[in-house]
Amino acid sequence: MKRKYWPCLVSVVASSFLLFSCATVPPKEPSTETPIIEPTETPVETNVETEVETPAEEYTLAPLETPDKMSYDNIKSDMNAMTVNLLQITKKFDLNSDGQEEEIVLIARDFVTPDALPDLYEGYELIIGTLEVRGYSASFEPRFNIVDLDKTDRYREIAVSEYGESEDPATTFIRYDGTVLEVIGTIPGFYGKRYVNGNPTEGLGKVSVDGSGIVKTLKTSFFLMTWNYEAEYQLEDGQSLTEIKKDLYPMNHQVTMLTDLTLKKSRTDSTDGITLKKGDVVTLKECDNAKWVSVMNTAGEIGWFALDEKDTIIGTGKTASEVFDGLFIAG
């Protein structure tokens, strides 16, 4: 009886101890703290080229003189052993903004009048160091001007003008870049002060340089008649002067009709427009300098006619001088 009681008592005590332990240990509350995440090191790339911005080169443009007050360091005239008149003009100027002045030498030659020193010469040599540019003309003006065709670059150009035959002037622009001396363009018109018998006049040539990269001048056209128009030349890549072609050029020249002429409505509409009558005074308004011309009558109406390569008005079989009185033709 006693042996059966003892194991039961041990079992009851053990069960009670386990139940008491479970009841007295509280459950673990969830943590409200933010977990700390250790940073991961990013490997540093090596041998990676970093693009470094190169600062723009600084330079100072030498001040220019106005074309009506252009001065020279030295002017001397002489006669060589072959009785050829020589005129030498020198000026120092920093043409390529490198801080060093170049000595510009212009030697003009006259092969026609060996017994006098004229104001017009037939040829010249423009020299900088060992570099040289030559030019020839029937009436060369033995002077030069320094100009700035494009204010956004570091260069200044040399302008050499000639009067030309039959008062047909031209100007040649020459650039020195520190290595090369070369002609970048010859355009119609005269730049700078004009001279008569070696003496300066009040007048300046028609070539205009404002530093915009565009040079303006008057150019002669022989389309339909002899007339002048304002032409523009663009400096392209600092290498050459190229004429900017326009769609239409103003003429505004009055003529009198020698015969009736029916005009076209426009350059793109070939139907008949207004008819000009013999004796009418009309105005040649515009042209494309190649084929088409517009005409305005006294009522303000406008029509167009076209010329072929032989100066014949297309559709009439007549030349322009047979239709219009008052066309100016330089002879």
User: For residue range 61-99, what is the model confidence (pLDDT) as tens digits?
Assistant: 999 999 888 999 999 987 765 567 788 999 999 999 999
- Tell me if 21 is assigned to some domain: no
Shared domain for 168 and 281, answered yes or no, is no
Structure tokens at 79: 């006669």
| 219 to 129, 169, 320: CA distances (angstroms) | 34, 10, 22
> Are the C-beta atoms of 142 and 110 separated by less than 8 Å?
no
pLDDT band per the 50, 70, 90 thresholds, residue 47: low
Q: Tell me, what's the pLDDT at 81?
A: 55
- Tell me if 173 is assigned to some domain: yes
pTM: 0.78
Q: Tell me, what's the pLDDT at 53?
A: 61
- Tell me if 58 is assigned to some domain: no
What is the rounded distance in angstroms from the CA atom of residue 330 to the CA atom of residue 252? 18
* Domain residue limits at 287: 250-325
> Are the C-beta atoms of 149 and 173 separated by less than 8 Å?
yes
What is the rounded distance in angstroms from the CA atom of residue 140 to the CA atom of residue 32? 99
Indicate the residue among 221, 245, 269 that finishes a domain. Answer: 245
Question: How many structural domains does the chain have?
Answer: 2
Q: Identify the CATH number of the domain in which residue 255 sits.
A: 2.30.30.40
Shared domain for 132 and 263, answered yes or no, is no
Region 109-132: mean pLDDT is: 77
Shared domain for 71 and 167, answered yes or no, is yes
- Tell me if 118 is assigned to some domain: yes
Shared domain for 135 and 233, answered yes or no, is yes
Query: Over the Cα atoms of the chain, what is R_g?
Result: 44
Shared domain for 167 and 185, answered yes or no, is yes
**pLDDT exceeds cutoff 50 at 22:** no
- Tell me if 36 is assigned to some domain: no
- Tell me if 301 is assigned to some domain: yes
Shared domain for 265 and 241, answered yes or no, is no
**β-pairing, 193-196 with 199-204?**
antiparallel
pLDDT single digits (tens) 150-206: 999 999 999 999 988 777 899 999 999 999 999 999 999 999 988 776 677 778 899
- Tell me if 39 is assigned to some domain: no
Indicate the residue among 201, 229, 245 that finishes a domain. Answer: 245
DSSP designation for 225 = S
Q: Tell me, what's the pLDDT at 17?
A: 40
pLDDT band per the 50, 70, 90 thresholds, residue 1: very low
Q: Tell me, what's the pLDDT at 131?
A: 96
Q: Tell me, what's the pLDDT at 45?
A: 54
Structure tokens at 27: 């459950």
Shared domain for 177 and 128, answered yes or no, is yes
When mean pLDDT is compared over 57-71, 135-149, 156-170, 247-261, the highest value belongs to: 247-261
Shared domain for 182 and 96, answered yes or no, is yes
| 50 to 43, 47, 54, 55, 261: CA distances (angstroms) | 17, 9, 12, 15, 74
Q: Tell me, what's the pLDDT at 16?
A: 42
Shared domain for 77 and 165, answered yes or no, is yes
User: What CA dihedral angle connects 206, 204, 226 and 149, to 10 degrees?
Assistant: -20
**pLDDT exceeds cutoff 70 at 108:** yes
Q: Taking the CA of residue 57 as centre, how many other CA atoms within 13 Å lie in the half-sphere pointing to its CB?
A: 9
Shared domain for 171 and 258, answered yes or no, is no
- Tell me if 76 is assigned to some domain: yes
> Are the C-beta atoms of 152 and 137 separated by less than 8 Å?
no
Shared domain for 76 and 161, answered yes or no, is yes
Region 291-308: mean pLDDT is: 97
Shared domain for 145 and 167, answered yes or no, is yes
In the chain, the amino acid numbered 197 is N
Region 311-324: mean pLDDT is: 96
